[in-house]
């Protein structure tokens, strides 16, 4: 069951037809990899009409910006997150974070076409980042994101491994982070694994059942993504510091 404050935020977005895709911890809950969070994170379309709709939602939630940058389209388009705190009684203290651009993640138009729409009891529908896009968005420098990536992909693997689609197998080969399951999967999908090893070379270690090299390669893969994320955010953090100091 969705906590009422979270439900209030999601239903308000839907009611005002905001082009927004749920991501972050709340999306992880829907995908079966529970993560406790009182934040609600969205990828949004940063255009004038959509932000006007979002402003109506925020006004209804009695939400205020709680950090820099201010809520302006130029900051969203550059990759900044804008953070709000809700004061409406039905969503009290809930934080809402919105972004429109993320490192390594496709444009919003592509994310919207690939979105997952779920329906909960009562007929309410919510739009989420697709699972592959959510996993990609979580490849950050934050420690908590990497165990979550593992749980997200594993949950999907265990749920669908009996009768998987080709798209699901491809997703698992490219995103699984558990050596045992990667070895198992590559043994069953040798042709596709061999083909995708050009994109993800560590699959060769899985096919060879070399757990030691595979574990080291997975660690190196994570380290490289963390460093890429750190470099991506470095100029954005400098820009935030200038805004804080009024430069």
3-state secondary structure 200-238: CCCHHHHHCCCHHHHHHHHHHHHHHHHHHHHHHHHHHHH
Which top CATH class is 4-131? alpha beta
pLDDT value, residue 98:
98
Compute the CA torsion angle 81, 82, 86, 91 (nearest 10 deg): -30
pLDDT value, residue 2:
63
Mean pLDDT of the chain: 95
pLDDT value, residue 150:
97
pLDDT tens per residue, range 74-97: 999 999 999 999 999 999 999 999
- Residue 63 has which token pair? 């939400």
Helix axis angle, 179-188 relative to 145-160, nearest 10°? 40
Looking at the chain, the domain(s) classified CATH 3.30.460.40 span 4-131
Residues of the chain whose pLDDT is less than 70?
A: 1-3, 35-36, 247
pLDDT value, residue 1:
52
pLDDT value, residue 34:
73
């Amino acid at each position: 069951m969705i906590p009422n404050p979270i439900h209030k935020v999601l239903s308000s977005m839907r009611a005002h037809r905001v082009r927004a895709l749920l991501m972050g911890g709340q999306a992880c809950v829907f995908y079966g990899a529970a993560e406790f969070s009182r934040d609600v994170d969205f990828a949004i379309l940063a255009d004038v009409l959509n932000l006007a709709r979002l402003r109506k939602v925020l006004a209804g939630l009695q939400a205020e910006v709680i950090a820099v940058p201010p809520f302006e389209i130029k900051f969203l388009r550059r990759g900044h997150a804008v953070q709000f705190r809700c004061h409406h009684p039905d969503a009290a203290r809930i934080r809402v974070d919105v972004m429109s651009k993320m490192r390594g993640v496709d444009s919003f138009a592509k994310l919207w076409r690939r979105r997952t729409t779920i329906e909960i009891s009562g007929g309410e529908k919510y739009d989420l980042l697709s699972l592959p896009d959510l996993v990609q968005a979580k490849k950050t420098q934050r420690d908590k994101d990497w165990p979550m990536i593992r749980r997200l992909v594993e949950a999907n693997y265990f749920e669908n491994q009996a009768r998987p689609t080709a798209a699901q197998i491809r997703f698992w080969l490219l995103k699984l982070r558990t050596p045992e399951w990667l070895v198992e999967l590559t043994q069953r999908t040798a042709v596709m694994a061999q083909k995708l090893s050009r994109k993800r070379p560590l699959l060769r270690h899985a096919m060879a059942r070399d757990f030691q090299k595979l574990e080291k390669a997975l660690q190196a893969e994570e380290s490289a993504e963390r460093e890429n994320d750190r470099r991506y955010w470095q100029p954005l953090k400098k820009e935030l510091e200038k805004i804080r100091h009024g430069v």
